[in-house]
Amino acid sequence: MSLRPLSRRTLLGAAGLTGLGALAACAPGEAAPTTAPTSAGTGGATTPATGPVDPSTLGDVTLVVWDQEVRGSQNDALVALNEAFQARYPNIKIERTSQSTDDLKTQVTLALSGAKVPDVVQVNNARADMGQFVTAGQLTDLSPYAAAYGWEDRIPASVLSKVRYSADGTTFGEGNLYGLPQTGEVVGLYYSQKKLDALGATPPTTWDEYFALLDKAKAAGEQPMVLGNVEKWPALHVFGPLQANYVGADDIVKLGMGNAGASWTTPGNVEAMTQFAKWGTEGYFGSSPNGTDYDPAWTEFTKGTGVFLPGGSWLGPDMEKVMGDDVRFMAPPPALDGRPATTGGTGIPFSIPAKAANKDAAAAYLDFVTTSEAMAIIAEKGGFPVIDAAKLAPTSGIQHDIFAAYDEVATGGTLLPYLDYATPTFADTAGAGLQEVLGGQRTPEQVLADFEADYAAFTA
């Protein structure tokens, strides 16, 4: 998931205007290209080399890129970067196919098992996606390219851990590198400043204050929160941050990464799910969160429905275009240990299929779209760069709030994994369970028992 453009932009100034020229002039890896990694045919690995490949030496190449960067700023940034890459390397023509996250997921699952695959494709980090593809030997191990281009020096280890798996796909968070992220993400609380002012309230600093503020909004006739959960996954972005008020961050990381040593049936998880169930059955998300689609829900928030919208950083620029200064964003209140913790991580990373025909050109492309110059363009277009966020943060507006919240959590607390990372089937298990809890069809204990069965069977 990614971001859309801001309606007004104050960051970068003239530097932003010259970003494309700088990108077109610079070589991959921000250094002069030297020796290329040697691709291992159609296999999943490459041979280490002394430096990055020079794409201009590869001859005429048609680089097939599949992505899900369809929203405003995410598309704008990638269009600009693709143009700069082709200007720098006129021998390489990018053949781009862009589609929704769900459509791309379906296409990738089918394509990777066939003979004709793209050279670059965005693959969700989760075990059900990247993990399964790694297990099947369908993705290239990018570790040799990382060594050649210096990606481990450029991108923090904590970020790269979100795209690492063991070669057999069983261990998540360490091992080989199977993707390169371009953007960051953080899930927090959007709110209407005007509505808080009308309630005589200020942004909550603790979860108890947040609960009390939701009650106050409901008593005043306002819908406390907005959620569109037809697609099932949006509820994970509400429950994940809430869970941190009741369950230790270390345990949530184990649960979310599908690593052994934790449990879904602890008293803390029961408390978290009970609170979530109350919000659903007592109308804190309105009358029908399970009958409302994701995009229409946040659109309604921009039109005045709801006081808070729990959601991801990728929504901010689009909502600011409609709401202006009225929309604000904050990290959730501090977690159980008093430190900030919330769901987040990377945007959907770029990977190279094991059967890709142009691996060296693909690696050069991955490098090009993740340089510091690329980060400046992503920020200028309204996106959220995975590195240099503090340096590129605007001085005001929703992106200022978002960048500050990300920095607060990433540097002072724990950026928790998306819970659907946990097992190959957990997205379905959790999505269905949270819908049932919201609708009152099943109890928190029953749903958590299903979560535990899925997690325990996998980690066993």
Residue 358 CB partners (closer than 8 Å, separation 6+) = 58, 61, 62, 63, 64, 119
14-183+348-387 shares its CATH topology with 185-345+403-459: yes
- What does the DSSP 8-state code read for residue 353? B
Q: pTM of this prediction?
A: 0.76
Question: Domain 14-183+348-387 classified CATH 3.40.190.10?
Answer: yes
Task: State how far the Cα of 41 lies from the Cα of 259, in Å rounded to an integer.
Answer: 33
Smallest CA-to-CA distance from 342 within 421, 422, 417 is with: 417
Tell me the domain boundaries of the chain.
Answer: 14-183+348-387, 185-345+403-459
Strand partners, 120: 65
Q: What is the DSSP string of 292-351?
A: S-HHHHHHHHHTT--SEEEEEGGGHHHHHHHHGGGEEEEPPPP-TTSS-EEEEEEPPPEE
- In sign, the C-alpha dihedral spanning 398, 402, 408, 409 is positive
Angle at the Cα of 150 (from 147 to 151), degrees rounded to 5? 95
Q: Which pLDDT tens digits describe the chain residue by residue (460 residues)?
A: 433 223 222 333 333 334 555 565 444 444 333 344 444 333 344 444 457 889 999 999 999 999 999 888 889 999 999 999 999 999 999 999 999 888 999 999 999 989 899 999 999 988 889 999 999 999 999 999 999 999 999 988 878 888 999 999 988 988 999 999 999 899 999 999 999 999 999 999 999 999 999 999 999 999 999 999 999 999 999 999 999 999 999 999 899 999 899 999 999 999 999 999 999 999 999 999 999 999 999 999 999 999 999 999 989 989 999 999 999 999 999 999 999 999 998 889 999 999 999 999 999 999 999 999 999 999 998 888 988 888 898 999 999 999 889 888 887 888 899 998 888 899 999 999 999 999 999 999 999 999 999 999 999 8
Q: What is the topology classification, in CATH, of domain 185-345+403-459? A: D-Maltodextrin-Binding Protein; domain 2 (3.40.190)
Smallest CA-to-CA distance from 94 within 350, 305, 291 is with: 350
Cβ–Cβ < 8 Å for 439, 290 = yes
| Dihedral in degrees, nearest 10, Cα atoms 290, 294, 296, 302 | 110
